[in-house]
Amino acid sequence: MSHQKLTSIPILVLLFLTTPIIADLNAEKQALLAFAVVVIHGRKLNWSFDTPVCSSWAGVKCALDKRHVIALRLPGFDLLGSIPANTIGKLKSLQVLSLRSNGLVFNVPSDVPSLSSLHSLFLQNNKLSGEIPNSLSADLTHFDLSYNSFTGEIPLAIQNLTRLKVLYLQNNMLSGPIPELKLPKLMRLNLSFNNLSGPIPMSLQNFPKESFLGNSLLCGPPLEPCTGIPPSPSPSPPAIPTENKKGFWDKLSLKVIIAVAAGVLALMLLVIIVLLLCILKTKSRTNTKSAKGKTNTISAKGKDVQVARGEIPKDDYSSGVQAAEKNKLVFFEGSSYNFDLEDLLRASAEILGKGSYGTTYKAVLEDGTTVVVKRLKEMVIGKREFVQQMEIIARLGAHPNVLALRGYYFSKDEKLMVYDYASNGSFSTLLHGDATTTRTQVGWFSRVKIVHAAAHGIAHIHAGGNGRFVHGNIKSSNVLLSGELDVCIADFGLASIMNTPASTSQLAVGYRAPETIQSGKFTQRSDIYSFGVLLLEMLTGKAPLQSPGRNDIMDLPRWVQSVVREEWTAEVFDVELLRFHNVEELIQMLQIAMACVARAPQQRPKMEEVIRMIEEIRLTEPDLLPSSGDRSKQIYGRHSCTVLRAAWYASPRSRASHELRGLARALLKSTVCLPAWILSFLQDLPRVCASCEMAGEDWTMVGRNGTRFLLNGRDFFVHGFNTYWLMVFATDISTRGKVIEVFEEASAVGLNVCRTWAFNDAGWRALQVSPSVYDEEVFKGLDFVVSEARKHNTRLILSFCNNWKEYGGKAQYVRWGKEAGLNLTTDDEFFLDPTIKGYYKAHVQKVLTRMNTITKVMYKNDPTIFAWELINEPRCLLDPSGDILQAWIEEMASFVKSIDPMHLLEIGMEGFYGPSTPEKLHQNPNLYYGQVGTDFIRNHQTPGIDFASVHIYSDSWIPDSFSGMHLHFVETWMQDHMNDADNILDMPVVFGEFGVSLRDERFTLECREKFISTVHRMLFKSRMRRGSGRGSLLWQLFPEGTDHMDDGYAVILSKSEPISNILSLHSQKLQLQSSFCED
């Protein structure tokens, strides 16, 4: 790009060299050891005085200079006890502290949350108590104290946390009013399930009502409006002068006073008699219950039925249940409820849903008790059969993942079932929302926890009745949630007592197995099918039926199969899941789901097998914002159970795994009837074998076949970035850490290619001081860049020269020529003069034949290098016809390939069309760009050029303010070049630079985000149809601390969470699409 790309590097280096390092790692080591001594911990905490803190201590991350600790992450480390003061609080440079999901108790020392550098504090899921400290770091962005036992009021100090983005205080015992929190950056808030009271402040009323639920004394939007405004105090009555007046009692005679007193005494005696009768009546009822010791039977009329021990007739099949007579509610043993039908009828009711077997209500009794009542549809069934089934259901409810039946009511006309109320609704509401709530963002770990618990509940139900019991109505609305995602399966055991199966319009058809729809019979195998649909619903975020009531209805299993068959696998998964960096886990769960929905019932696994397969998935529960290094490990540093299982069957790897793939394909194409789990494994084997091969093979070069990039015979897609100054920074040890930081942050979001300069001609820290004279220390800096890229699984595009004056470029070559006595008049003679071309060729040869001092691999043999670039953004205004530049490209492409025929080669073009295709000139941003001496089609038809390069800078090329015009140009510009690469050039096209400058007041961060998303969307569309669009490189990625070099286009991922998410999402979609593609 033609902007100035480096202006202040010497100042930066001076700052790095002069900044004093004051952190004392030894002191921080002592503080951490003191923490470990006081807090009880398990084996995970491997801290020892004899081992280095920064490289071997679990959960500890140090700064790049390894002088101080900046992050401490110990989630789920089995820590027990209180957090000691003067330990963690001594880590003065600590930025992230995560002690979540442990057994920590008592207060949080004030010196911890007040650390001035702390920006993320995760203490959720402990047993901490006391008041929330008032002294808080002003830099806090994430503050999570949820699921503890904190008391007192929300501290006013939170009002000063102007950088706070996330505040989670739910499920504590906080009380008092919510303070006015005018926090401009607050995006997520949860204060639910505390004892807060009063009106919700205006500044927080835009948050959803779920943020405030469970606080019965809160009012105001988004909850119910506040009522009962207290009246203003009445003015005090004027003082009445004291007078000597005769009082009322003074006027009455003594006889009247005696008569009134006698009446009052008689009334009091009557009240006492009534109270004694009530007490005796209650005692009699209590004795009856004690004698029975099994159930509470309460009359709807308020009359007591006293039943002596053993009076229940045997033909009632009462196993711990008293006879259910007319108008009686029957409660099972262990139920704490004590109300009758009239209490229930007086309760306020709310319809929760109308299901297959009846309507479900939420009932709140007058005393505040909340229960769920299911009113069954009309059925013809005898009392004996009904009671027997209720007893079976009650016995099966004795499991933590099965909703317990607490009681029932039977009469000829009405049949009710009473359950506990699940405060967090259903899995369906969580995934899809409902009429009153929007969809909740629920992460991968939580979803798997829910389905895993639901599977245990179903397995328990299937074990009932000697292994013959069936649920019969598995769906997401029957997976209920309470507390901390405690999961219960509901609505089971009713299929067998319904007189006729519900019609397909009444039933949730999308969950029904094919054989159940045909026969109306439920089996355990049909339950497995329904659970498989539930898994697909969890993975896709879609309802079981996509178009109910229309002729083109498609159930979820068929839709998923069609998408996978068309190799659009990335479109299967819920976009919310793609933010969590767990591609392998998603694919494994998809395979489990598809095994469950096999058409043939006998091919479906049993629920115990399903549980085992789910448990084999290695789950990762990252912190809300883990560090770039940790995220990189989460994404790329783990092997799934699928890979390990494949390694078991394919071991030793020296056996040609392509034979296994061939065998798998042959079996899949044969008519042999195989079990579902074998089919699933064979279908996955080609991908797994390829993964194993890539893990075991050497780091190999990327090649090209037509419009495809290939790595080990499989598609390779460029998802990368530009950082041009890496060599210069790597030259000095004081700035080398920034190079590592860039690669860490890039790999953490899935970027796999970096484009950078392999030149710096004359000037400060020059690589080429003069023609063919090089600074070895700078060359060693380039060696470091190449070696570090390899460590982070990142390929490099190395450019040989610049069209612009930054870093020397063609202007410096011409200057050298003039100094040597050449008669040169314009910088464009760089492309013409034989001596200047000789200078350029000598530099190219020097780079290609350079032996890396770190890796000991010659550059031309190093697979880390993805491609060479002839020159960045060449233009030759001297010759608008394009002949001069075309001749130069042909000569230099031939020269590069004569030395290095293995690596890919590209030109570095911006993509402007030229005179060879006059019909395409209108596709340029304007007429000027057709006269700069470049020609996209002609230039890229040069022998030796392997792929096309195009840049996108609509903010510079189009003068209008950012609008639909810019995005429309991006779409058209990209599509035109991809069409030409498909139909004319037959080569891949990479959009080597694209970005939006924030220095231009017309553009905002939102504009930049839309711009990047548009580029990714166009490329993914091309990928889906196997087109030539093979990647892009964002201009440009910077680490923190380099802001002063920003040309307006810099993206600092640690400060740009939305863009990090966009880049990561694109990476996940590409990986998912590739995962199901065969060789």
- Residue 666's pLDDT band, with cuts at 50, 70 and 90, is very low
Asked if 401 contacts 488 with a C-beta cutoff of 8 angstroms, the reply is yes
* Strand ranges (E), 812-935: 865-869, 904-906
Q: Which residue has the higher pLDDT, 748 or 309?
A: 748
Query: How many angstroms separate the Cα of 518 from the Cα of each of 521, 601, 757?
Result: 8, 13, 67
Q: What CA–CA distances, in Å, run from 755 to 114, 719, 775, 828, 988?
A: 42, 11, 22, 24, 17
Q: Greater confidence, 1015 or 337?
A: 1015
Q: What average pLDDT does the structure give for the chain?
A: 79
Number of H helices, E strands in the chain: 29, 36
Angle in degrees, CA 966, 972, 973, rounded to 5: 85
Same domain as 470, residue 381: no
| Residue 685: predicted pLDDT | 47
Q: Are residues 398 and 478 in the same domain?
A: no
H or E stretch covering 373: strand 370-376
Q: Which amino acid is at 926?
A: N
DSSP 8-state class, residue 508: -
Q: Give the CB-side neighbour count of residue 576, counting CA atoms within 13 A.
A: 17
- Is it the case that residue 261 has pLDDT exceeding 90? no
Q: What is the model's pLDDT at position 391?
A: 87
Query: Among residues 617, 633, 663, which one ends one of the domains?
Result: 617
Which range of 86-100, 266-280, 886-900, 1058-1072 scores highest in mean pLDDT? It is 886-900
With bands split at pLDDT 50, 70 and 90, how would you rate the model's confidence at 17?
A: very low
Residue 550 lies in a domain: yes
| Burial of residue 127 (number of CB atoms within 10 Å: 0-12, 13-18, 19+) | middle
Structure letter (DSSP) for residue 546: S
pLDDT at 643: 32
pLDDT at position 43 is 64
> CATH code at 516?
1.10.510.10
User: Domain limits at 341?
Assistant: 328-421
Instruction: Give the model's pLDDT for residue 963.
Output: 59
Element (H, E) at 328: strand 328-331
Residue 193, domain member (yes or no): no
CA 787 to chain centroid, in Å, comes to: 32
- Over 90: is that where the pLDDT of 587 sits? no
Residue 340: which CATH number?
Answer: 3.30.200.20
Under 8 Å CB-to-CB from 26, ≥6 apart: which residues?
Answer: none
Least confident interval from 84-98, 318-332, 999-1013: 318-332
What band does 990 get if pLDDT is binned at 50, 70 and 90? Answer: very high
Q: Which of 208, 165, 158, 156 is nearest to 185 (CA)?
A: 165
Say yes or no to pLDDT of 78 above 60.
Answer: yes
What is the pLDDT confidence band of residue 872, given thresholds at 50, 70 and 90? very high
Give the separation between CA 85 and CA 88, rounded to whole angstroms: 7
**pLDDT tens profile 784-799:** 999 999 999 999 999 9
C-alpha separations of 52 from 60, 454, 1072 in Å: 11, 44, 39
Higher pLDDT, 574 or 942: 942
- In a domain, residue 651? The reply is no
Determine the average pLDDT of the residues in 241-253: 43
Q: Are residues 390 and 449 in the same domain?
A: no
Q: How confident is the model at residue 21 (pLDDT cuts 50, 70, 90)?
A: very low
pLDDT at 1064: 87
Exposure pattern of 185-199 as b/e (b: 16+ CB <10 Å)? ebeebbbbbbebeee
Does residue 445 belong to any structural domain of this protein? yes
387: CB partners within 8 A, 6+ apart: 316, 317, 318, 321, 324, 408, 410
Q: What is the pLDDT of residue 568?
A: 55
Residue 576 near residue 442, CB atoms below 8 Å: yes
Q: End-to-end distance of the chain based on CA atoms, in angstroms?
A: 37
The catalytic residue positions are: 873, 993
Question: What is the pLDDT confidence band of residue 653, given thresholds at 50, 70 and 90?
Answer: very low
Q: Which two tokens stand for residue 263?
A: 């009446």
Q: For residue 760, is it within any domain?
A: yes
Decide if 72 contacts 59 (C-beta within 8 A): yes
Lowest mean pLDDT of 82-91, 511-520, 678-687, 1022-1031, name the range: 678-687
In a shared domain, residues 414 and 488: no
262 part of a folded domain = no
Same domain, 400 and 457: no
Among candidate residues 617, 642, 662, the one where a domain is terminated: 617
Pair 507, 401 in one domain: no
pLDDT of 226 reads: 87
- Tally of structural domains, the chain: 3
d(CA 463, CA 458) in angstroms, rounded, equals: 9
Query: For 950-975, what is each residue's pLDDT tens digit?
Result: 999 988 888 765 556 788 899 999 99
pLDDT tens figures, 590-639? 889 988 998 888 889 999 999 988 888 856 544 333 333 333 333 222 33
Q: What percent of the chain stands above pLDDT 90?
A: 42
* pLDDT at residue 432 greater than cutoff 70: yes
pLDDT in tens, 137-194: 999 999 999 989 999 999 999 999 999 998 999 999 999 999 998 898 998 899 999 9
Rounded Cα distance, 504 and 507, in Å = 5
Using CA atoms, how far residue 350 sits from 487, 575, 827, 920, in Å, is 22, 33, 80, 65
- Choice between 685 and 18, residue whose per-residue pLDDT is larger: 685
In a domain, 187, yes or no: no
Say whether pTM exceeds 0.85.
no
Is residue 885 assigned to a domain? Answer: yes
Sign of CA dihedral 589, 591, 594, 598: negative
- Residue 256 confidence (pLDDT): 55
Percent of the chain with pLDDT strictly greater than 70: 76
- Residue-wise pLDDT tens digits, 890-905: 999 999 999 999 999 9
**Together in a domain, 965 and 904:** yes
Bridge partners, 967 (sequence order): none
- HSE (CB half, 13 Å, CA atoms) of 451? 33
Residue 468: band (very low, low, confident or very high) from pLDDT cuts 50, 70, 90 = confident
Domain closes at, from 399, 421, 443:
421
> How much is the pLDDT for 1073?
62
Clarify whether residues 464 and 413 are in a common domain.
no
Task: State pLDDT tens for residues 495-512.
Answer: 777 655 544 443 467 888
Confidence bin at 22 (pLDDT 50/70/90): very low
What gap in Å lies between CA 1077 and CA 183, rounded to an integer? 47
Claim to verify: residue 498 and residue 538 sit in the same structural domain: yes
* 607 and 735 both lie in a single domain: no
**Residues of each annotated binding site for ATP:** 383
**The predicted structure's pLDDT at residue 283:** 45
**316 Rama sector, left if φ>0, alpha if ψ -120 to 50, beta otherwise:** alpha
Residues 918 and 939 reside in one and the same domain: yes
Q: What is the pLDDT of residue 665?
A: 45
Q: Average pLDDT of 873-893?
A: 96
Do residues 769 and 827 both lie within one domain? yes
Please say if the pLDDT value at position 704 is more than 90: yes
Calpha distance 830→813 (Å, rounded): 7
Phi, psi of 856 (to 5 degrees): 60, 30
Higher pLDDT residue, 784 or 125? Answer: 784
